[in-house]
């Protein structure tokens, strides 16, 4: 051996030293570092759990508020619908209103009787100027389901001291001016309304549809022909909402057993 030098370590000594260092390290970690580390881990875990709980709570509040606002909006729309929304619904024929069953005499002529409430004032609500939104079938009595939409205008005034009134109707749906006129006359003896129509295409009056109002809905009927086919035509005036009156028309080719609605419009008063 070299003078003044420690003996060379053996393998057993090295292992013993390593074991001693490991044990000391574990004791130190357990007493100092691991305790602080564990506390920090616990703190972070609690913070994470708290944050997740807060986020879940916020989600619940957001979803609850969303549902509440949607519920309030639905109630508001139902109670105070926007005129446009109300008109869109009105442009679909109301299947909840039944067309009255038809009656015929021995010759096949329509027998029409006035309702108990029929009055010469039934069309008073229509006096003035109106803008109309219209829908009509592009092809009638062909099982078509294609509808065309357009706008038009009506100006109505009374005549004959209230026993009649006249509509002037205009639209440009075809690209050129189309005009029509409706003449409505009330018969005090029968208490029935007769409605005549003429337009700029034919220049002549169609056979009048005849009828009356009941519970703010009027039905008016006539025999007519369409492209050579005998039909019964019905006009319906629905004035349950007088601010948005709805007119619609249907044809029947089987004496009123079935009907095809082919035209409908809803009016809004021009202020």
What is the predicted pLDDT for the residue at 4?
Answer: 45
pLDDT value, residue 52: 78
Residues 6 or more apart from 94 whose CB is under 8 A from it?
Answer: 238, 246
Please state the domain extents for the chain. Answer: 11-80, 95-269
Q: Is the pTM of this model over 0.85?
A: no
pLDDT of residue 21: 43
Q: HEC string of 24-74?
A: HHHHHHHHHHHHHHHHHHHHHHHHHHHHHHHHHHHHHHHHHHHHHHHHHHH
Name which of 17-21, 95-99, 171-175 the model is least confident about: 17-21
Cα 213 from Cα 247, distance rounded (Å): 13
Nearest to 94 by CA among 270, 245, 256: 245
At 77-122, the pLDDT tens digits run 455 444 444 557 779 999 999 999 999 999 999 999 999 999 999 9
* Token pair for 35: 């305790």
pLDDT in tens, 130-140: 999 999 999 99
pLDDT at 18: 46
Q: Indicate the burial class of 18 (C-beta count within 10 angstroms; 0-12, 13-18, 19 or more).
A: exposed
pLDDT in tens, 195-240: 999 999 999 999 999 999 999 999 999 999 999 999 999 999 999 9
Report pLDDT for 55.
Answer: 78
Q: Give dist(CA 135, CA 93) in Å, integer.
A: 10
Cβ atoms of residues 170 and 152 within 8 Å: yes
Domain 95-269 fold: Lipocalin (2.40.128)
Query: What pLDDT sits at residue 35?
Result: 63
Tell me what pLDDT residue 27 has.
54
């Amino acid at each position: 051996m070299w003078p003044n030098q420690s003996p060379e370590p053996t393998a057993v000594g090295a292992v013993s030293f390593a074991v001693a260092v490991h044990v000391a390290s574990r004791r130190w970690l357990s007493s100092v570092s691991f305790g602080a580390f564990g506390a920090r881990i616990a703190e972070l875990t609690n913070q994470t759990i708290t944050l997740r709980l807060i986020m879940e709570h916020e989600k619940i509040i957001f979803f609850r508020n969303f549902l509440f606002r949607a519920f309030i909006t639905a109630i508001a729309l139902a109670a105070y619908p926007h005129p446009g929304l109300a008109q869109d619904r009105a442009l679909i024929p109301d299947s909840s209103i039944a067309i009255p069953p038809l009656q015929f005499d021995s010759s096949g002529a329509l027998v029409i009787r006035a309702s108990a409430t029929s009055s010469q004032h039934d069309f008073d609500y229509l006096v003035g100027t109106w803008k109309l939104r219209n829908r009509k079938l592009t092809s009638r009595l062909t099982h078509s389901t294609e509808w065309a939409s357009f706008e038009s205008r009506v100006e109505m005034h009374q005549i004959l001291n209230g026993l009649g009134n006249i509509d002037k109707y205009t639209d440009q749906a075809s690209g050129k001016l189309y005009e029509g006129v409706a003449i409505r006359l009330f018969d005090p003896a029968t208490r029935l309304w007769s409605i005549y129509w003429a337009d700029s295409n034919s220049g002549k009056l169609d056979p009048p549809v005849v009828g009356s109002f009941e519970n703010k809905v009027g039905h008016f009927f006539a025999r007519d022909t369409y492209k050579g086919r005998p039909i019964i035509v019905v006009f319906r005036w629905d004035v349950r909402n007088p601010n948005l009156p709805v007119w619609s028309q249907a044809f029947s080719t089987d004496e009123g057993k079935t009907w095809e609605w082919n035209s409908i419009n809803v009016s809004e008063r021009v202020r």
